[in-house]
């Protein structure tokens, strides 16, 4: 059954519309025909309130929730009516809050914050800031406006920038000795049954849009000025030289930066995050990482690191207290161990179509195992790239040589010809210099004693020997060579975490200048990464796709003569599937009801 309208045109040209309740009947062998069950009369004389009461009665009989007859509850009486006064995306925040509560993050934060009383709900404010990073990354000032006007955050109707800054200060105060991160991780690990036998660690850098680095000063020295909205003692603390120039992994050595370390599980779930001054070397941070994780008593853990951390001192430190490591080795460093492994004969074992492994043990290091990995597809690609580069080099060298020979056989007869010949010789010299300094081609060249450039055949042979290969070393006596290789490949999960921090969660630009606020900002991004990783793991979809679909679920506010009601839109099949996969209950149809 449905409401059917029909129209009739009067002789004076006006049109009258009629409303009736009808249903379709299918005649034998013919199309369906509309049959009027109950005429309701002219549209301009229709009893709208009576229809609403009828709809409400039907819905109550069917057992539907109060949202179906919201108009009756808020007083849509004759002469009144409902107006849509607000509509905000609600699905993304609802999913994140469901995971936040399900993983025990809210409970962990409340326990760490203690029994102190606050004028605002700090846990809700921190969740809102985390949701902002995941859904619409902005500055904290803009995040307060976003919370108040642009999104439906469960349990938080509005916020100010002062509340945002205060919540950040309390968060970093509570995270002393990583207490917040420890409580959150163990809550998540217990719920998800995370395997922490392998931990993957890597670092990155993030820069600041400023001309100079921080200058270290004594802690007692005051800092002039204050960040917008700051009202606590942190704003009057001394500088720490946190934003410093250093080796930039973002190719921005001209800007000061900080170093960020991230440990993740094999599933990509973040375990802990660290921040160091921007001039900190990768080689210097690993002992602290080892000590910090050992304090959590995670049990038997194999730490996986890349070539940037594989100094002998670091690897020895990772083996303390029964720990073990898997590390990448620098194959071009020319160390005796690497050369001995590469020279060792033996057959590779196939692990996957694009991965073969060969284990090598050396008498000079009996407590270590080397695993030489080969990727046939990568070897083919590297050989093709090198051959293309060598072809370009040979063509350019041949052109320069022929031009020099032509000039050598030409005798200038005038002063102008002499100047022209000199200019051409200088141009050829500049071409050689440009070829030698080329970032991709120069590596294959060497300069002879006469100053001419030739292809470095020894370098070509050495690189061909390494095509598609990488070398791993481990101290674990039990892992198979296949597990070592596959475990190292999972180090890409840490790199993917950094990519998501910088792109999806927009870690930068960072709008804070005080070290505690910068650390709190990184910690909020870490919490957001934790939530989106769990959502991705459970649904098998990327977070941008999840956020896009859930963003279409809105909370709509309707206002009538006797009050307001906030009601969510109908769930689509896709939205229901996402919430079901994440074990998050769908939002109630009515989220707020305020009689006048």
Q: Write out pLDDT tens, residues 455-485.
A: 999 999 999 999 999 999 999 988 899 999 9
Higher pLDDT, 321 or 540: 540
Higher pLDDT, 49 or 392: 392
**Whole-angstrom distance, CA of residue 163 vs CA of residue 168:** 9
Quick one: which H or E segment has residue 13? none
**For the chain, what's the residue count?**
596
Taking residues 331-337, what's their average pLDDT? 82
- Whether omega before 123 lies within 30 degrees of 0, making that bond cis, reads no
Q: Is the pLDDT of residue 335 over 50?
A: yes
Cβ atoms of 350 and 444 within 8 Å: the answer is no
Cβ atoms of 278 and 510 within 8 Å: the answer is no
**Whole-angstrom distance, CA of residue 309 vs CA of residue 202:** 9
The residue written with tokens 């055949």 in the block is: 457
Which residues fall within 8 angstroms of residue 468, CB to CB, at 6 or more apart? 374, 375, 376, 377, 378, 379, 380, 381, 382
Phi, psi angles (nearest 5°) of residue 521: -60, -45
Which residues fall within 8 angstroms of residue 222, CB to CB, at 6 or more apart? 236, 238
Strand ranges in 399-553 using DSSP code E only, listed in sequence order: 445-447, 453-455, 469-474
Summarize pLDDT for 513-528 with one digit per residue, the tens: 889 999 999 999 999 9
Report helix angle 140-149 to 161-174, nearest 10.
120
Q: Give the pLDDT score at 179.
A: 87
Quick one: which H or E segment has residue 42? strand 32-42
Structure tokens at 322: 């029964």
Q: Which residues pair with 272 in a beta bridge?
A: 263
Report helix angle 122-135 to 140-149, nearest 10.
100
Summarize pLDDT for 374-386 with one digit per residue, the tens: 999 999 999 999 9
Taking residues 60-73, what's their average pLDDT? 55
Beta-carbon count within 10 A of 174 CB: 18
**Whole-angstrom distance, CA of residue 141 vs CA of residue 84:** 28
Report CA 494 to chain centroid distance, whole Å.
10
Taking residues 565-569, what's their average pLDDT? 89
Structure tokens at 283: 């080689």
The residue among 122, 88, 120, 126 whose CA lies nearest residue 530 is 126
DSSP letter at 515? Answer: H
Strand ranges in 317-476 using DSSP code E only, listed in sequence order: 324-329, 349-352, 355-362, 365-374, 445-447, 453-455, 469-474
What is the average pLDDT value for the chain, to the nearest integer? 84
Structure tokens at 99: 């995971």
Give the pairing of strands 83-89 and 469-474.
unpaired
Q: Give the pLDDT score at 34.
A: 78
pLDDT band with cut points at 50, 70 and 90 for residue 240: low
Summarize pLDDT for 128-187 with one digit per residue, the tens: 999 999 999 999 889 999 999 999 999 999 999 999 999 999 889 888 888 889 888 888
Q: Which residues pair with 35 in a beta bridge?
A: 23
Q: Which residues pair with 326 in a beta bridge?
A: 304, 474
**Whole-angstrom distance, CA of residue 28 vs CA of residue 39:** 26
Structure tokens at 458: 């020894």
Q: Is the pLDDT of residue 428 over 60?
A: yes
Q: Give the pLDDT score at 239.
A: 43
Cβ atoms of 88 and 554 within 8 Å: the answer is yes
pLDDT band with cut points at 50, 70 and 90 for residue 321: confident
Which residues fall within 8 angstroms of residue 168, CB to CB, at 6 or more apart? 129, 140, 516, 517, 520, 521, 524
Cβ atoms of 339 and 481 within 8 Å: the answer is no
Q: Give the pLDDT score at 460.
A: 93
Q: Is the pLDDT of residue 68 over 70?
A: no
Give the three-state DSSP class for 251: coil
Give the pairing of strands 302-305 and 198-207.
parallel
Cβ atoms of 197 and 300 within 8 Å: the answer is yes
Cβ atoms of 506 and 213 within 8 Å: the answer is no
> Is the Cα dihedral 521, 524, 529, 535 positive or negative?
negative
Q: Which residues pair with 211 in a beta bridge?
A: none
Report helix angle 376-408 to 457-465, nearest 10.
170
Beta-carbon count within 10 A of 89 CB: 19
Q: Give the pLDDT score at 16.
A: 80
């Amino acid at each position: 059954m449905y409401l059917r309208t029909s129209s009739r045109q009067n002789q004076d040209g006006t049109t009258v519309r009629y409303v009736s309740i009808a249903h379709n009947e299918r005649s034998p062998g013919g199309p369906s025909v509309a049959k009027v069950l109950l005429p309701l009369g002219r549209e301009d004389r229709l009893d709208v309130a009576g229809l609403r009461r009828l709809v409400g009665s039907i819905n109550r009989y069917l057992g539907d929730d109060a949202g179906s007859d919201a108009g009756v509850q808020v007083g849509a009486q004759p002469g009144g009516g409902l107006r849509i006064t607000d509509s905000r995306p609600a699905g993304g925040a609802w999913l994140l809050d469901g995971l936040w509560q399900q993983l025990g993050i809210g409970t962990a934060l409340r326990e760490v914050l203690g029994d102190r009383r606050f004028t605002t709900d700090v846990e809700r404010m921190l969740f809102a800031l985390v949701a902002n990073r995941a859904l619409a990354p902005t500055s904290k000032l803009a995040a307060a406006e976003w919370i108040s006007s642009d999104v439906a955050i469960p349990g938080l109707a509005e916020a100010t920038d002062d509340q945002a800054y205060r919540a950040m200060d309390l968060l970093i105060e509570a995270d002393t000795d990583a207490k917040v991160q420890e409580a959150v991780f163990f809550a998540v690990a217990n719920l998800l049954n995370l395997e922490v036998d392998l931990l993957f660690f890597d670092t990155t850098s993030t820069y600041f849009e400023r001309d100079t680095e921080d200058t270290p000063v004594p802690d007692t020295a005051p800092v002039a000025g204050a960040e917008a909205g700051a009202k606590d003692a942190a704003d009057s603390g001394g500088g720490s030289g946190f934003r410093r120039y250093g080796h930039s992994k973002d190719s921005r050595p001209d800007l000061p930066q900080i170093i960020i370390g991230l440990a993740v599980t094999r599933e990509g779930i973040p375990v802990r995050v660290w921040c160091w001054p921007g001039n900190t070397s990768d080689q210097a941070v690993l002992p602290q990482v080892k000590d910090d994780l050992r304090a959590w008593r995670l049990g038997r853990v194999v730490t996986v690191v890349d070539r940037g951390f594989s100094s002998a001192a670091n690897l020895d430190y990772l083996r303390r207290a029964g720990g073990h490591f898997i590390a990448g080795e620098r194959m071009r460093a020319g160390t005796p161990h690497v050369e001995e492994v590469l020279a060792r004969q033996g057959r590779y074992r196939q692990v996957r179509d694009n991965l073969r492994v060969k284990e090598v043990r050396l008498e000079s290091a009996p407590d270590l195992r080397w695993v030489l990995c080969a990727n046939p597809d990568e070897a083919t690609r590297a050989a093709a790239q090198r051959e293309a580069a060598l072809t370009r080099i040979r063509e350019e060298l041949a052109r320069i040589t022929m031009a020099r020979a032509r000039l050598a056989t030409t005798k200038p007869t005038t002063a102008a010809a002499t100047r022209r010949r000199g200019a051409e010789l200088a141009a050829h010299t500049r071409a050689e210099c440009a070829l030698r300094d080329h970032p991709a081609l120069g590596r294959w060249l060497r300069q002879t004693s006469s100053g001419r450039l030739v292809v470095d055949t020894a370098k070509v042979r050495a690189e061909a020997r390494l095509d598609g290969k990488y070398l791993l070393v481990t101290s674990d006596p039990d892992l198979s060579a296949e597990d070592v290789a596959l475990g190292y490949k999972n180090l890409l999960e840490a790199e993917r975490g950094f990519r998501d921090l910088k792109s999806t969660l927009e870690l930068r630009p960072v709008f804070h200048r005080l070290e505690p606020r910068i650390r709190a900002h990184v910690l909020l991004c870490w919490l957001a990464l934790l939530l989106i990783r769990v959502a991705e793991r459970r649904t098998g979809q990327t977070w941008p796709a999840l956020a896009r679909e859930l963003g279409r679920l809105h909370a709509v506010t309707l206002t009538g003569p006797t009050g307001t009601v906030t009601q969510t839109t109908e769930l689509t099949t896709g939205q229901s599937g996402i919430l079901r996969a994440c074990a998050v209950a769908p939002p109630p149809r009515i989220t707020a009801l305020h009689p006048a």
